[in-house]
Amino acid sequence: MLDALLRELRAGDVLVCWKLDRVGRSTRHLLEIVEDFNGRDVGLVATTQSIDTTTGMGRFFVTVLAAVAELEAGSACAPASTPRVGAGSPSVPRTK
């Protein structure tokens, strides 16, 4: 049903949803939908999250969401043998 709805939206339409997770099956899928909407001049509003892609702040939020998703995707691909830097790591000098 969602796919049929997405196909029916036309320029100037705004899809109003309860939460963003109701629109996309994953973060990546949601971002693909928003990118498609931007190309077709369709807005997206998530009422409980105060996100509205027809505003500058809403578009900014989606841009940040895309950056976080990209960061997560990149870190998920990192080899398991990559040393992690943090508390107790021998590569981080301790201060007294």
Q: What is the 3-state secondary structure (H, E, C) of 1-18?
A: CHHHHHHHCCCCCEEEEC
Task: Measure CA 75 to chain center.
Answer: 16
In this structure, what are the phi and psi dihedrals at residue 14, rounded to the nearest 5 degrees? -130, 125
Domain locations along the chain:
2-75
Summary mean pLDDT of the chain: 83
Q: Tell me how far apart the alpha carbons of residues 70 and 90 are, in angstroms, rounded to a whole number.
A: 29
- The yes or no reply on domain 2-75 and CATH 3.40.50.1390 is yes
Distance from CA of residue 51 to its chain's centroid? Answer: 12
Tens digit of each residue's pLDDT (9 = 90 or more) over 20-32: 888 988 888 888 9
Regarding pTM above 0.85, the answer is no
Tokens representing 44? Answer: 């997206």
pLDDT (tens digit, 9 = 90+) per residue, 26-56? 888 888 999 999 999 999 999 998 899 999 9
